[in-house]
Amino acid sequence: MPHDGVVTWAAVILTGGTAARLGGADKAALEHGGRTLLEGALVAVAGAAELLVVGPETQTSVPVRFVHEDPAGGGPLAGVAAGVAALDGAHERVVVLAVDMAQVTAGTVGRLLEAAAEVDAAWLTDGTGRRQLAGVVRPSLVPPPDRAHGAPMRLLMSAGTSRDVPARGDEADDIDNWDDLARLRRDDPSGPRT
């Protein structure tokens, strides 16, 4: 509910992918800028009223709740659905963020929330206009877990009324393979490590 015009929002961070193109490496444990990708994502969503991580439990610097898809391996939409279904509070918006979106910051999240103020959703887009796994949605847009398993993420990305938020700089870069990891290493003198 809004308090003094402020929109309450939750965050769902997805860490449970298979990382098949990275040989099964734990993306959440990779480092960038002196912290793990998960810690970087937690900083980006630090303003959330409620915070859930969908994926394996690990130590974090701030209190978070970990949840899992059931059954596992249903894809990103199933992860989002599991996270939204597990929220305790009634939130007007949910920030959805894949842990491998290492360049997303609190500023990015702020722009997404602002863009979603008058619509159902807002998504970060890359230079080609392709929507990335960094967005803000009304919780009602997210299908229940039993309908999300194996369904494509585009079902959520095309639901309701939405706005695209063009990435600034390398905000839309994600880490899908070893080349992406090498690029991030070049950009970060401390270098990603597992």
User: Does residue 193 lie in a domain region?
Assistant: no
In a domain, 4, yes or no: no
Q: Would you state the torsion angle of the CA atoms of residues 111, 112, 117, 120, taken in this order, to the nearest 10 degrees?
A: 170
Task: Give me the domain span that covers residue 35.
Answer: 9-186
Residue 91 corresponds to which tokens in the numbers above? Answer: 């939130």
Q: What is the pLDDT of residue 136?
A: 98
Residue 191 lies in a domain: no
Q: Is residue 142 part of a domain?
A: yes
The number of distinct structural domains making up the chain is: 1
* The predicted structure's pLDDT at residue 20: 47
d(CA 28, CA 39): 8
Q: For residue 172, what is the domain's CATH number?
A: 3.90.550.10
Environment class of 194 (CB within 10 Å of its CB; exposed 0-12, middle 13-18, buried 19+): exposed
In a domain, 2, yes or no: no
pLDDT in the model for residue 192: 43
157 within 8 A of 135, measured Cβ to Cβ: yes
Q: What is the pLDDT of residue 120?
A: 98
Q: How high is the pLDDT of residue 175?
A: 74
What is the per-residue pLDDT for 194? 42
Q: What is the pLDDT of residue 4?
A: 46
In a domain, 3, yes or no: no
C-alpha distances out from residue 23 to 10, 19, 53, 176, 177, Å: 31, 6, 22, 10, 9
State the pLDDT at residue 72: 87
Q: Could you read off the pLDDT tens digit of each residue along the chain, which spans 194 residues?
A: 344 456 799 999 999 765 544 545 567 767 767 778 899 999 999 999 999 999 989 889 899 999 999 888 899 999 999 999 999 988 999 999 999 998 999 999 999 999 999 999 999 999 999 999 999 999 999 999 999 999 999 999 999 999 999 999 989 988 765 566 666 656 654 444 44
d(Cα 75, Cα 81) in Å, to the nearest integer?
A: 10
- Tell me the sheet residues that pair with 65: 52
